[in-house]
């Protein structure tokens, strides 16, 4: 049982300092000076402050943008892409070396259990490998010209400074998806991490600077600026930020998108999800239980891809619900210190998530929902400022308003359906469109879910849960999830600008479309 003993905050602060030192940072941060403001590093494990850490002020954000822009124009955009790839290759080596150190910081700052924290760093290593490959594959196409003696083609060029704003729940992986790809594409990066996870950001920046020194790349390719919303807003407003890649809540995206658009900048948004799995009568229920429980309760329900809705055929809804509830009962003894090997559910990141969970459960109850398991708070006496909760299953009579919202906590709503059309309608009947799944042995049913008339999400899975995507595919979602795509496939194109070139090698100058002029 991992329920009781929590580590002391002082011990965690010491572990954080030691991990930072091993990553090459003697002191977490130079004071930002009078223009900066007082911030702090905290841990959700005890809910306490680890140590103070200055935030950046307007002047240091301005300096970071200047340096990034200057490095882009003076050298990085002209550095051959495979040479840029060497920087990311070296970063990958350092990440392998410091996997434990970064995972340690992820657990301390985001509260992830050890295996998930290690998994997150593995994802960074994987994207390094992918981006190094991409550095030799920034292909443009050649199209047949309609004119004799002409060649028509496209070339891809670096875009400029990429502003990266990230959320607390994937404090390092989302940065690496953006940064590794942006760097090989010839862009420079200014990163504003979540105010809840500054130490992981400083560690990543430190490792990247070591990689830059090792391969002779300019240190100005990457800057990190710490602070809250106002620091993010400085990136949003600045015309030197050619692409703003922002990950976080839909509310954040709604504030950011029109402001970047007003200055004709580009944005890439990765926002909230409200992910569902449809369970058909033919489904392999062992897979359903395994896939659902990890997707719904893993990371204490704080993944953008967390399974929040289980839409089950009425023939199997009783059995599926019972088996999921039984599995959740086993989780009850595995809530607590995320460093403990036996823990499966760590803390919520803070009070906001806990309050949202309580409110959602109250609304669900008022709508006729019944809590079948979970719902309680744990360890409140041992750590009054930390928020450990029991993963919760709620049987709902239908998809009411509260089910349509993303509550960033481990609540799984179970609903039933009769026909696949009804299931798909219910599935798509929420504002978000990130990840989805169907569990079925019926191939035609699976294909219908994958088709244009099926799931409206950016990620559509068969016989696998909604969370835990691999980096090889493009990641992102539709509707209120923001429409952006990051990571693998051809997501690199968002970080570059395309030029169409027509070359005349024929000695004549025929105009296109047969136009005659002079």
Q: Which residues are catalytic?
A: 270
> Of the candidates 87, 304, 317, 446, which one interacts with ligand NAD according to CB under 6 A?
304
Count CB-CB contacts under 10 A for residue 473: 14
Tokens encoding 2: 């991992």
Provide the pairing of β-strand 142-143 with 150-158. antiparallel
Count CB-CB contacts under 10 A for residue 495: 28
* 449 forms part of the interface with ligand NAD (CB under 6 A): no
CB of 359 to ligand NAD, least distance (A): 16
> Of the candidates 72, 156, 168, 388, which one interacts with ligand NAD according to CB under 6 A?
168
**Spatial CB neighbours of 302, under 8 Å, sequence gap ≥ 6:** 169, 348, 349, 353, 408, 409, 410
* 156 forms part of the interface with ligand NAD (CB under 6 A): no
Alpha-carbon distance of 380 to 470, in angstroms, equals 36
Contacts 24+ apart (CB under 8 A), 351-359: 351/387, 353/302, 353/387, 353/408, 353/409, 354/387, 354/389, 354/409, 356/407, 356/408, 356/409, 357/389, 357/392, 357/407, 357/409, 357/410, 357/411
* 127 forms part of the interface with ligand NAD (CB under 6 A): no
* 232 forms part of the interface with ligand NAD (CB under 6 A): yes
- Alpha-carbon dihedral sign for residues 499, 500, 505, 511: negative
CB of 304 to ligand NAD, least distance (A): 3
* 43 forms part of the interface with ligand NAD (CB under 6 A): no
Q: Confirm if 463 and 439 have CB atoms less than 8 A apart.
A: yes
> Of the candidates 249, 282, 463, 489, which one interacts with ligand NAD according to CB under 6 A?
249
* 247 forms part of the interface with ligand NAD (CB under 6 A): yes
* 175 forms part of the interface with ligand NAD (CB under 6 A): no
CB of 143 to ligand NAD, least distance (A): 34
| Site stretch for ligand NAD (CB under 6 A), options 105-113, 126-134, 165-173, 293-301 | 165-173
> Of the candidates 117, 271, 423, 491, which one interacts with ligand NAD according to CB under 6 A?
271
* 120 forms part of the interface with ligand NAD (CB under 6 A): no
> Of the candidates 60, 343, 461, 481, which one interacts with ligand NAD according to CB under 6 A?
481
CB of 443 to ligand NAD, least distance (A): 30
Binding mask 370-409 for ligand NAD (x = CB under 6 A): ------------------------------------x-x-
Closer residue to ligand NAD in complex, CB, 143/261: 261
CB of 191 to ligand NAD, least distance (A): 10
313: exposed, middle or buried (C-beta count within 10 Å: 0-12, 13-18, 19+)?
buried
Task: Kindly identify the residues of this chain, within the stretch 182-221, that bind ligand NAD according to CB under 6 A.
Answer: 192, 194-195
Alpha-carbon distance of 494 to 243, in angstroms, equals 8
Residues composing the chain: 518
Closer residue to ligand NAD in complex, CB, 165/280: 165
- Provide the phi-psi class of 501: left if phi over 0, else alpha when psi is between -120 and 50, else beta: beta
* 50 forms part of the interface with ligand NAD (CB under 6 A): no
SS3 of 223, please?
strand
> Of the candidates 92, 248, 338, 347, which one interacts with ligand NAD according to CB under 6 A?
248
Alpha-carbon distance of 41 to 91, in angstroms, equals 25
Alpha-carbon distance of 92 to 314, in angstroms, equals 48
Q: Which residues bind ligand NAD (CB under 6 A)?
A: 165-170, 174, 192, 194-195, 228-229, 232-233, 236, 247-249, 252, 255-256, 270-273, 304, 406, 408, 434, 481
């Amino acid at each position: 049982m991992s329920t009781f003993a929590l580590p002391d905050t002082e011990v965690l602060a010491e572990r954080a300092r030691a991990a930072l030192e091993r990553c090459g940072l003697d002191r977490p941060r130079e004071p930002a000076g009078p223009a900066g403001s007082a911030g702090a590093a905290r841990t959700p494990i005890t809910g306490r402050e680890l140590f103070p850490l200055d935030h950046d002020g307007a002047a240091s954000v301005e300096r970071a943008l200047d340096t990034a822009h200057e490095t882009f124009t003076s050298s990085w955009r002209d550095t051959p892409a495979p040479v840029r790839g060497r920087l990311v290759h070296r970063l990958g080596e350092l990440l392998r070396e410091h996997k434990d150190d970064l995972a340690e910081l992820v657990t301390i700052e985001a509260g992830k259990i050890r295996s998930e924290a290690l998994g997150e760093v593995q994802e960074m290593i994987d994207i390094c490998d992918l981006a190094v490959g991409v550095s030799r594959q920034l292909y443009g196409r050649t199209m047949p010209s309609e004119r004799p003696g002409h060649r028509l083609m496209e070339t891809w060029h670096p875009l400029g400074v990429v502003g990266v704003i990230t959320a607390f729940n994937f404090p390092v992986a989302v940065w690496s998806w953006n940064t590794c790809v942006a760097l090989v594409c010839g862009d420079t990066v200014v990163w504003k991490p979540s105010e809840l996870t500054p130490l992981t950001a400083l560690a990543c920046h430190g490792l990247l600077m070591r990689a830059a020194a090792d391969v002779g790349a300019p240190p100005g390719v990457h800057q990190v600026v710490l602070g809250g919303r106002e620091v993010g807003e400085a990136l949003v407003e600045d015309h030197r930020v050619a692409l703003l890649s922002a990950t976080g809540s839909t509310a954040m995206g709604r504030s950011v998108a029109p402001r970047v658009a007003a200055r004709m900048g580009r944005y890439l948004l990765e926002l909230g999800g409200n992910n569902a799995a449809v369970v058909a009568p033919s489904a392999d229920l062992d897979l359903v239980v395994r896939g659902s429980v990890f997707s719904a309760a893993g990371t204490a329900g704080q993944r953008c891809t967390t399974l929040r809705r289980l839409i089950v055929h009425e023939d199997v809804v009783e059995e599926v619900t019972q088996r999921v509830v039984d599995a959740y009962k086993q989780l009850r003894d595995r809530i607590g210190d995320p460093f403990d090997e036996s823990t499966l559910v760590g803390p919520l990141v803070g009070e906001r998530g806990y309050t949202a969970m309580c409110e959602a459960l109250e609304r669900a109850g008022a709508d006729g929902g019944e809590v079948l398991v979970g719902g309680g708070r744990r360890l409140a006496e041992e750590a009054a400022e930390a928020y450990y909760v029991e993963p919760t299953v709620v049987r709902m009579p239908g998809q009411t308003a509260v089910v349509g919202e993303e509550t960033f906590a481990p609540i799984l709503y179970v609903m039933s359906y009769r026909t696949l059309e009804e299931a798909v309608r219910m599935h798509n009947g929420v504002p978000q469109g990130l990840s989805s799944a169907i569990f079925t042995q019926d191939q035609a049913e699976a294909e219908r879910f994958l088709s244009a008339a099926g799931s409206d999400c950016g990620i559509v899975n068969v016989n696998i849960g909604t969370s835990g995507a691999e980096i090889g595919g493009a990641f992102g979602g539709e509707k209120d999830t923001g429409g952006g795509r990051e990571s693998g496939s051809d997501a690199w194109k968002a970080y570059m600008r395309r030029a169409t070139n027509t070359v005349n090698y024929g000695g004549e100058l025929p105009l296109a479309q047969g136009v005659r002029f002079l």
